A = this chain, B = another copy of it.
Amino acid sequence: MLTIAVDAMGGDHAPKSEVEGAVRAARTLGVKVLLVGQQDVVRRELAEHDGAHSLPIEIVHAKEVITMKDSVDAFRTKRDSSMRVAARLVREGVAAGFVSAGNTGAVMATAKLVQGLVKGVERPALAGVLPTVEGSPVVVIDVGANVNCSPGMLAQFAVMGEIYSRIILRRPKPRVGILSIGEEDHKGNELTRAAMPLLRSLNLNFIGNVEGRDIYTGQVDVIVCDGFVGNVALKVSEGLVEMVKHLLHESLEATITRKIGYVLSKTAFSDFKKRVDYSEYGGAPLLGVRGVCIICHGRSNANAMKNAIRVAAEFSQGRINQQIEDELRLSTGDKIAIQAH
């Protein structure tokens, strides 16, 4: 049975969301889950769930916890943290992958250090998966792992993101674009302009520059950018969704007529919320590390955790890393490596 390790102490609602997500995953996905964290705490939480003892769930003890307030360097000093122990289970082959809703910087550093990189990969990249008008999700890569990028790194992100879109999100021939500020090839900053010929030379369905507004149209499946720009794009989106929810709520509550309108249309709202809910997409994969590492939002609920476990399993079954290695070596590796240095 495929085994996925879960950092039970990572998120803002740990270990509640993690344990409940693990229970749902073990019950419905046919995977075994290792809950990694402080044994007593996790055991107590697990006991809240009826029938959990008969599910394929095991607790693996880890005495330390990395909090959101810890610096990224905590991954070095806290050698027995739940996220580090989870990554170690992957390195040792006990688990096929691990999922964490902990401190993003610390999870990335841990996975890189403990699991190592897929052969040919220069830098791992965090792939954000976002909803679109068309219904098919879009992959934005990188959303925060690499602040300063070379053209060669962007080309590698394109290759990794394309494979992820094709295998996990089941897009038949993913359209790949580069995030810029105009459609023509010469528009953009130094990095995007230098990356352009390199991306055109790859064996991808590359459509050139795309703009910020194209993220949500569904007209592109993979959007490549450096981690600074990608992180800004992601956080701007989060902030705007929060504002929209807040303002809609306020406007609806303002009068009694609207209150009736609100009650009647609330099914529509929960519909809508589900369609833009990140938790349906199960977190952001860190592409390019050996094994599997899925990083969830700190605020992840049980549904998000369950979906992240599902994605980790599919990632492993889809042999994504083997395909990344092959693709980088066979068709594009030399080209990218030469340009990148």
A residues lining the B interface (CB < 8 Å):
131-133, 144, 147-148, 179-181, 188-190, 211-217, 227-229, 231-244, 246-248, 251-252, 254-255, 257-258, 260-269, 271-272, 275-276
The smallest beta-carbon distance between A247 and chain B, in angstroms, is 5
How many copies of this kind of chain does the complex include? Answer: 2
Q: Are B236 and A215 in contact (CB under 8 A)?
A: yes
Residue of B with least CB distance to A274: B251
Q: What's the Cα separation between A144 and B181 when bound, in Å? A: 8
Q: What's the Cα separation between A254 and B272 when bound, in Å? A: 11
Q: What's the Cα separation between A214 and B264 when bound, in Å? A: 32
Q: What's the Cα separation between A215 and B179 when bound, in Å? A: 20
Contacts of A247 in B (CB 8 A): 133, 272, 275-276
The 5 closest A-B CB pairs, nearest first, are: A261-B265, A212-B235, A261-B264, A213-B239, A212-B236
The smallest beta-carbon distance between A90 and chain B, in angstroms, is 27
Q: Are A189 and B237 in contact (CB under 8 A)?
A: no
Contacts of A180 in B (CB 8 A): 228
Q: Are A268 and B254 in contact (CB under 8 A)?
A: yes
Q: With A228-B229, A246-B133, A276-B244 in contact, is A239–B215 under 8 Å at CB? A: yes
Q: Are A254 and B271 in contact (CB under 8 A)?
A: yes
Could you give 12 example pairs across A and B, Cβ below 8 Å? A133-B246, A133-B247, A148-B190, A213-B238, A215-B240, A233-B233, A233-B236, A236-B236, A244-B244, A251-B269, A251-B272, A265-B265
Residue of B with least CB distance to A232: B212
Q: Are A267 and B257 in contact (CB under 8 A)?
A: yes
Q: What's the Cα separation between A236 and B88 when bound, in Å? A: 38
Q: What's the Cα separation between A188 and B213 when bound, in Å? A: 24
Contacts of A241 in B (CB 8 A): 240, 244
Residue of B with least CB distance to A270: B251
Which of B131, B227, B262 sits near A265, CB closer than 8 Å? B262
Q: What's the Cα separation between A264 and B252 when bound, in Å? A: 10
Given contacts A133-B247, A148-B189, list 7 more A-B pairs with CB under 8 A. Answer: A188-B228, A213-B235, A213-B238, A216-B240, A217-B239, A254-B268, A258-B268
Q: Are A237 and B235 in contact (CB under 8 A)?
A: no
Q: Are A133 and B243 in contact (CB under 8 A)?
A: yes
Contacts of A260 in B (CB 8 A): 264
Q: Which of A190, A217, A235 has the most CB of B within 10 A?
A: A235
The smallest beta-carbon distance between A153 and chain B, in angstroms, is 14
Q: What's the Cα separation between A229 and B179 when bound, in Å? A: 10
Q: What's the Cα separation between A260 and B257 when bound, in Å? A: 12
Q: Are B276 and A267 in contact (CB under 8 A)?
A: no
Q: What's the Cα separation between A295 and B247 when bound, in Å? A: 27
The smallest beta-carbon distance between A129 and chain B, in angstroms, is 15
Q: With A257-B264, A261-B262 in contact, is A214–B239 under 8 Å at CB? A: yes
Q: Which of A243, A246, A264 has the most CB of B within 10 A?
A: A243
Q: What's the Cα separation between A264 and B255 when bound, in Å? A: 11
Q: With A216-B239, A216-B240, A241-B240 in contact, is A232–B268 under 8 Å at CB? A: no
Q: Are B271 and A264 in contact (CB under 8 A)?
A: no
Q: With A148-B189, A229-B228, A251-B272 in contact, is A238–B267 under 8 Å at CB? A: no
Residue of B with least CB distance to A217: B239
